[in-house]
Amino acid sequence: MTLQEFLRLAKLHPVAAALKTSEDMELALTCDARLLFVLKGDAFQMAPFVVEAHKHHKGVIVHIDLVSGVGKDHGGVQYLRQIGVDGIITSRSQLVASSRAEGLVTIQRLLVLDDPTLDTGIRTIVRAAPDIVEVLPGILFPEVAHKLFQSLRGPFIAGGFIHTTADVARIRDAGAILCSSSTHELWKRSDES
C-alpha cells in the first residue's frame, strides 16, 4: 500500500477500526471501516487476518510495539511486510526508518501529556519523518491542532477517547484526516460520517 492508497481509504470512512481482540478482528472484516489498526494480538493470528482483510479490500496497519511475537526491530518489520501488512504504527523513530525502507506506510504516535511532551514529541517526529502522525489522546486533537500544523507536515490521525460521531466530526473539522477508535458503532456508516 502506498501513502496515496492509505489516504484514499481514509476518505472512504472517517474512522479506522482499532482492533484489540479476536472478536474485534472478526467484526472488522465486515464493517464499513476501510483501515484496520491492529493494536493487540500475536504474530500467529496476523498472517491469516491480513489475507482475509485484503479480500475485503481493507488496509491492515499493525502497531508493532504492541503485537506479541514480532520483533521490535528491522527483522520484525520485514516479517510484517512478508505477510502482507500495509503499514506500521510505532512510537519508535528507528522503526519508522526500517518500515520506510521496506515500503510500508509509517505512522508514528505522538502522546500529548502537556506542553513540554508535545514539544519533545514534535522534535522527535521531525527527525523521524513518518508518513503520518497519530495524536493521542485523539480527543485533544482540536486543542493542539494549530501548533501541530505549524510544526509538522502531517497528515494527522487522532486516536484515543473517541466515542461518538460528534467527537469524529469535531476532530475532522480541526484537520485530522482520520480517527482511530475501538468503539464498534463508529466503524459503521452513519448520517454524520
DSSP H helices, 35-90, are 43-55, 74-82
Q: Is residue 180 within 8 Å of 158, Cβ to Cβ?
A: yes
For the chain, list residues with pLDDT below 50: 192-193
100: its cell numbers: 520506510
The residue extents of the domains of the chain are 3-181
Structure confidence at residue 124 (pLDDT): 96
Structure confidence at residue 155 (pLDDT): 98
Structure confidence at residue 141 (pLDDT): 98
DSSP H helices, 89-177, are 93-101, 115-128, 141-151, 165-173
Structure confidence at residue 99 (pLDDT): 96
pLDDT tens-digit profile of 120-144? 999 999 999 999 999 999 999 999 9
pTM above 0.75, yes or no: yes
Domain 3-181 sits in CATH 3.40.50.280: no
pLDDT tens-digit profile of 152-182? 999 999 999 999 999 999 999 999 999 999 9
